[in-house]
Structure 1
Amino acid sequence: MTARAPILTLHSLPGNRQRGLLTIGSITVPAAIGRSGRTSRKREGDGATPIAEMRVVEGFWRTDRGPRPVTRLPMKPIARDALWCDEPRHPLYNRPARKPLRASHEEMRRADGLYDICIVLDWNLTSRKRYGGSAIFFHLARPDFTPTEGCIAISERAMRRLLPAIVPGTRLRVI
């Protein structure tokens, strides 16, 4: 008999639609969420975190900024030319890409360190819908936990604490 993969659950904080608490097992950590809070009608560029249950797919990390995170998830080093396409009309919409790319995109090797550890969530990934939202990641938060563009973000310390409990099959549930 195979054990079920754990579920990460994100609850919004009452009175602050841009913050939440993320729980897995007995561990609960503060999180930043989208500048527009949560939504059940996610659209490209709306700044909202989708209310959904998303499969944790894989991760990326900056080898020049820290050791490989301890996790059973597939993890890849972030290449110098790594991008993530967020242009709904482009064939690579909501997919990894490489420089040069003229279409709108996210830089994966960010100067601000937010993607030093970045976990890809299966939002609009398996079956893509144009303008359905892209680059919904579970990544590192700014020190003051300012809102994201729709992702879920936690401190690096919390991320390194949670990742050993995250395995293939883990889902992140935003409620």
Structure 2
Amino acid sequence: MRSWCVKQVKTDTYQLDAGALQFDCIIGKAGVIDASAKREGDMATPRCEMPIRAVYYRADRVQIPALPFPTFPITASCGWCDAPEHPAYNRHVDLALHAPFDASHEVMWRDDTAYDIVVELGFNDAPVIAGRGSAIFIHCIAPGKTHTAGCVALVHDDLLALLALASPDQHVIVT
């Protein structure tokens, strides 16, 4: 198993260490929290080890190289359920298939560039526990952003370079 490590390098400054390469990144506004204390909407990034599950991408904006895990184009109907009481909590949802999707959710087709590339991390998904946190991703840093809602974010080109290093058993450790 190969691991990339997200670590604090200075006050409010984080870096993703991928061995030979290091990338500046941003994390949740509330900082890092122990995974057992993670809760939906707390704006914290969980301290734990998470496998890469899949990559979603905006095919109209970016070309993704062949990767060792599933890849899916993001469409206007892609969403991610963040409603703890819903059966699809912490899962990708097809908003058109379930229209209207009345439960709380993120729309993955965004006007900004944050979700041009989205790496789904395996957090609170085996099994899903209601309210323990959802949609922990590695994604692009949107212009002007200095933190995320709990994800890890990198500059677009850095995220592409990182994915080029990925192995089928790739994990991300947040320390």
TM-score for the superposition, normalised by structure 2 = 0.92
Matched, 1:131 2:131: yes
Question: Where does residue 84 of structure 2 map in the other structure?
Answer: 88
Once superposed, what is the RMSD of the aligned Cα atoms?
A: 1.2
Query: What are the Cα deviations for residues 102-147 of structure 1, in whole angstroms up to 9, with x where unaligned?
Result: 0000011111111110000000012111110000001101244510
Q: Which amino acid aligns with 2:106?
A: E
**Distance in 1 between residues matched to 2:89 and 2:172, nearest whole Å:** 22
**Distance in 1 between residues matched to 2:93 and 2:78, nearest whole Å:** 6
**Distance in 2 between residues matched to 1:132 and 1:13, nearest whole Å:** 27
Structure 2: runs of 5+ lacking an equivalent:
none
**Distance in 2 between residues matched to 1:133 and 1:97, nearest whole Å:** 16
**Distance in 2 between residues matched to 1:8 and 1:32, nearest whole Å:** 15
**Distance in 2 between residues matched to 1:116 and 1:126, nearest whole Å:** 26
Question: Where does residue 105 of structure 1 map in the other structure?
Answer: 105
Question: Where does residue 157 of structure 2 map in the other structure?
Answer: 157
Q: Which amino acid aligns with 2:151?
A: C
- In structure 2, the CA distance between the partners of 1:148 and 1:104, relative to structure 1 (3 Å rule), is same
**Distance in 1 between residues matched to 2:84 and 2:66, nearest whole Å:** 34
Structure 1: runs of 5+ lacking an equivalent:
none
Q: Which amino acid aligns with 2:123?
A: W
Q: Which amino acid aligns with 1:50?
A: P
Question: Where does residue 54 of structure 2 map in the other structure?
Answer: 58
State the Cα distance separating 1:6 from its structure 2 match. Answer: 2.2
State the Cα distance separating 1:95 from its structure 2 match. Answer: 0.4
**Distance in 2 between residues matched to 1:69 and 1:61, nearest whole Å:** 11
Q: How many residues align?
A: 169
The equivalent position to 1:24 in structure 2, one of 18, 23, 46, is 18
State the Cα distance separating 1:79 from its structure 2 match. Answer: 2.0
State the Cα distance separating 1:25 from its structure 2 match. Answer: 1.6
Contact 1:42 1:133 in 2 (8 A): yes
The equivalent position to 1:36 in structure 2, one of 26, 30, 35, is 30
TM-score for the superposition, normalised by structure 1 = 0.92
User: Percent of pairs identical after alignment?
Assistant: 35
